[in-house]
Every structure is written in structure tokens, then in C-alpha cells.
Structure 1
Amino acid sequence: MSLEVSDLRIEIGGRPVVDGVSFVVPDGARVGIIGESGSGKSLTALAILGLLPDGVRASGSVRWNGREILGLPDRELARLRGDDIGMVFQEPRTALNPIRTVGRQIGESVRIHERVSRREALVRAVAEAERVALPDPERIVSRYPHQLSGGQRQRVAIAMALACRPRLLIADEPTTALDVTIQAGVLALLRTFVQDAGMSLVFITHDLAVLAQVATHAVVLEKGRVVEQGGVADLLRAPSSPVTQALLRDATATLWHPERSHPSISDAVAVAVDDAPTLAPARGSSLDAAVAGGDDTAPPPGPAEPDATDPERTP
């Protein structure tokens, strides 16, 4: 299934903020949309799924598997989200419900699209938590978002987005809010899922060094317009637009090799990340308690769970 965006225009108060953006994401392709803050990349992603705020108008064409989806009624878009297209937002703390356990939230993402019982959904939630390499998944699903680390919350958001096995994943700056020491694990997780499932990926970022780790093709935006697009390796070797050159300078600063007197572009092309962390064994079931009791009351206080790759975690 392919995504085709043609002449997408987005206006806020009559002022164009995205102006004629066009690109194609073939089945199984990994495409990055990159640009500086205010370039329109996140608005483009929101328009694809019909999630633009009130008062923001979109026109043009967005076709999914040949079907026009721009302007679809909310009910039809709701079926599309999760079943066909999943989305991971930049800040999981705001994307997750603070008064529901993460297991309940993962399970609800399944129940919206599949006819399963609450208990079956929680069993699936444990499986999805394990799939995204959350430690001790049966315990994690009984926790509330504030009791998890930032990296763990983002893994929960990824589990929710992938629970119904969509064919396309849109990830909007999914590692920007994370410490650099745990970004690599989340990027590796996304890359593994996309490659293993053969799904398509639209990855939104302002960081060319990050994009090089997950995407093979890039669309560069500046002030709402496409200024360059092509293979990521080609853009790294020979960027033609000033904005891409500026993004490359930022990326090479990140990828500076201390033994060399200049940045290595080949490092950026071939940058790799470690595999997702090994799963910790479960230490006991909390499913029965979760099924028996509601979790819509105020969550209990408690410290965040230490991230498996967080250098500041407590022993």
C-alpha cells in the first residue's frame, strides 16, 4: 500500500503554512520529512491523518492505496487510524492518558479495532509491551505514565501505534524529547519493526543524523515548501539546497569523529545503532488485578521507572 501526497496546502487564518507539498511513500519505503522548526513538517503529518486543529484548513490530495483520504469523515478516519496507519507523537507524556494504566491504554488501542474482551486486550497489552522491549512487561502494564521514564513512555506509545499491525507508521520527532543516550534504542526499535514487518515509514525530524539511521529517502521542507528530495545518502554526500547544507552541518557536528580533523560524511551515511535491549524476565502477573478493578481513578504517586539505558537510573 502506498501513500501519495499531492499539492498539499495548509492554511491558518488564510495564511499558507504548507504550500504545495508533494511526495510518495511506496509500499515498504522509509521516507523522512526533515526541516527546521516551523517548516511545516509536523502539520504535514497531522494532515495525512486528519488531525489538524480546528481552524486549520488543508487542501490538495492525500491518497492511501489509491483512495482519497483528505477530508474523510471522522468516523472513517478513525477506522483508518490504527488499522492501516499508526502514529507516534513527539511527546508521549501528552499523548498518554495520565489516569489510566499503560496496559489499559495499549489494550484500548486493540479494542477500538478488534472485537476482543477486556482481559484479552490486556493479554495483548502485555505481549505488545514485551515486543517493544519494556522490562518486566506484566508489571509495566499496571503502571501509570508518570511512573515510567521518558524512554519507556515512548515505547508504550510505539506499542499503541503498532498494536493493530498498521501498514504505515508516521513517527513525528519520536526521539527529540529523549536523552541522547536512549535515543539509539528507540530508533533501533522502530527500524527493526518497520523492516521486519515490511511496513512503510514516514519519519519527521529536524536532525539529519537521526534520519540517516531510519530512512532511505528524504523530503526537505523550508517554510512549507519542498526544496529538495532524494536518497538520504545522496543528500548527505551532495546537498544542493542551503537548508539541507545547514542541516548537514548540524548533523556532522553530532557525528564528529575525534580522531579526524574534519567531519566524516561516510560515517553519517553508514551510521548504525545497537539492537534493542534484552528483555527482562517477568516477575509476576498483574493481569487479574487489572481486569478485576477499574483504573480510571487518580493514579498512585510513585517515582518513574528507571530506563534500561538511562545512565542516571538508580540501582
Structure 2
Amino acid sequence: MSLVVEDLVVELDGRRLVDGVSFEVPDGARVGLIGESGSGKSLTALAVLGLLPDGATAHGSIRWDGTELIGLPDRELARLRGDDIGIVFQEPRTALNPIRTVGRQIAESIRIHQGLGKREARERAIAQAARVRLPAPETIVDRYPHQLSGGQRQRVAIAMALACRPRLLIADEPTTALDVTIQAEILSLLLGLVEAEGMSLVFITHDLAVLAQVATEGVVLEHGRVVEAAPVSTLLSTPASPVTQGLLRDATATLWRPEGGAA
């Protein structure tokens, strides 16, 4: 399986928010989309999933295993979401339904896409909770999102995204709302699961230091356009664009304490 995005344009209210973005995610690859807020990276991911905001339109080409996704009927896109392509959003509190237990939310995708009964789906949900290292999975699945910590809610979101073992995972700033310690735990968990399953990964971030931990290829965006695309090692050692150079300065600053000692 591979994802190929070519000359993607996303327009809203007469404005081009994504302008000619192209990149490819081969089977098993880990690619990062990086840029400041408003660079178009999240809109690019939403276009892949057919989840653009009302009024936004996509043009160009997005192909998944040779199938064109732009213009694909909603019913077929819905089948791909969760089954072939999973997504983890930045803020799990908004991604989770506050009036449903987390176990039911993990099980929902399994029941829809794999046709399992309620009991078997619950057993799978418990197994998924254990897989993402949630404590006491047999009981935590009966809790509601507000009863969990931020890190636990993000683990639930990851469990939901991976419930049907998709071949591609899109992670949209999945650790931005977490403190540094929990962020490191979630990144380690996410990367371990991706590697164990042999999934492809599209990781979206504004932080080059974070990207270096999870991706091997990077696509740098500014104002909806690709300004640089290279291996992450190259972005770190010899960034070509002013945008990437600024991201590298920001990343370097986070790795050193103000007095100059290593963090």
C-alpha cells in the first residue's frame, strides 16, 4: 500500500489554504509534515481522509493503493477510515464522545468494520486498551473520558485509531497538549506500535525535535506550499530553506537549558 498526493489544492472562501502540495508515503515509510500553525499540514491530512471543513474543496490527486480518493463517495471514504487509514488527533478531549465509555468508543470501529458482536468487540477493546498500556484495561474501558488523565485519553485515541489494524496511521500533533514526560511516553508507544504492525505513518508536527524521533522523511510546509522535502537527517544537518532553518533553531532551543547545559 502507498499514499501518493500530487498537486493538492484546498480552497475555502476563495482562498488557497493548501497550494500544490505533493508527497508520497511508500508502504512502511514514516513521513512527517512539518510547519508552523497555518502552514496547511493538518488540512492536507484532513483532505486525505475526506474530512475537510464545510465549504472547503480539494483538487488535484490523492491516491491510496492506486484508488483516487478525491471525489470518492462518502460511503467508500468512511469504509477506508479506520479500516485502511487511522487517525489520531491533537486533542483527545474533542475526539472522544464525553457521554460514552471509552471501551464502547474503541469497540465501535471494530463492530462497524469487522462485524463483530457486542461481547467479542468488548473483548477486543480490552485487548486494545492493554496494547496501548492503559492501566487495569478490564475496568478502565468502563470509564468515561473525563475520568481519565490527558495521557490516558490520548492512549484511548490511539487504541481507537489502531483498533482495525490500519495500514496507514495519520497522527496530527498527537502530543502537543501533553507535558514533556507524557509526550515522550506517547511518542515511544506510538512508534513501537507502528513498527510492530509494519504500518506507514504520516506524522504532523511543528516541532523538528519531535519529528526526528518518529519519522525518516520530512516535508516542510509554509503558507500551504512545500518549501523543502528531504530525509529528516538532512533537515537537521543542512536545512536548505529559511523555514526549516527557523524550525531547527526552535528545536535546538528546546534541547538546551537557558544557562547552556544539556536538557
Q: Deviations over 1:125-167 (max 9, x none)?
A: 0000000000110111000000000000000000000000000
Residue pairs, 1:96-115, within 5 angstroms: 96-115=96-115
Q: Distance in 2 between matches of 1:39 and 1:71?
A: 24
TM superposition shift of 1:180: 1.1
Give the structure-1-normalised TM-score: 0.82
In structure 1, the residue matched to 2:20 is 20
Q: Distance in 2 between matches of 1:112 and 1:91?
A: 24
In structure 2, the residue matched to 1:60 is 60
Q: Distance in 2 between matches of 1:56 and 1:259?
A: 47
**CA-based RMSD:** 1.4
In structure 2, the residue matched to 1:197 is 197
Residue pairs, 1:134-145, within 5 angstroms: 134-145=134-145
Residue pairs, 1:79-158, within 5 angstroms: 79-158=79-158
TM superposition shift of 1:109: 1.3
Q: Distance in 1 between matches of 2:259 and 2:98?
A: 46
TM superposition shift of 1:115: 1.4
TM superposition shift of 1:256: 1.8
In structure 2, the residue matched to 1:33 is 33
SS at match of 1:164: coil
In structure 2, the residue matched to 1:44 is 44
Q: Distance in 2 between matches of 1:257 and 1:216?
A: 27
Q: Distance in 2 between matches of 1:179 and 1:159?
A: 20
Q: Distance in 1 between matches of 2:259 and 2:247?
A: 23
Give the structure-2-normalised TM-score: 0.98
Q: Distance in 2 between matches of 1:260 and 1:39?
A: 31
In structure 1, the residue matched to 2:239 is 239
Q: Distance in 1 between matches of 2:254 and 2:95?
A: 29
Moved segments of 4+, more than 3 Å: 257-261
Paired amino acid for 2:203: F
Q: Deviations over 1:283-303 (max 9, x none)?
A: xxxxxxxxxxxxxxxxxxxxx
In structure 1, the residue matched to 2:184 is 184
Residue pairs, 1:299-314, within 5 angstroms: none
Q: How many correspondences in the alignment?
A: 263
TM superposition shift of 1:260: 6.1
TM superposition shift of 1:54: 1.1
Q: Deviations over 1:225-277 (max 9, x none)?
A: 0000110011100101011010001100111278967x8xxx9xxxxxxxxxx
Q: Distance in 2 between matches of 1:104 and 1:198?
A: 26
SS at match of 1:39: coil
TM superposition shift of 1:56: 0.4
Q: Deviations over 1:24-44 (max 9, x none)?
A: 000000000000000000000
Paired amino acid for 2:211: L
Q: Distance in 1 between matches of 2:71 and 2:41?
A: 19
Q: Distance in 2 between matches of 1:70 and 1:169?
A: 19
In structure 2, the residue matched to 1:226 is 226
SS at match of 1:112: helix
TM superposition shift of 1:70: 1.3
- Structure 1 residues not aligned, in runs of 5+: 268-315
Q: Distance in 1 between matches of 2:60 and 2:44?
A: 12
In structure 1, the residue matched to 2:163 is 163
In structure 2, the residue matched to 1:282 is none
SS at match of 1:28: coil
In structure 2, the residue matched to 1:292 is none
Name which one, 1 or 2, has greater alpha-carbon Rg.
1
TM superposition shift of 1:89: 0.5
- Structure 2 residues not aligned, in runs of 5+: none
Q: Distance in 1 between matches of 2:148 and 2:72?
A: 36
In structure 1, the residue matched to 2:250 is 250
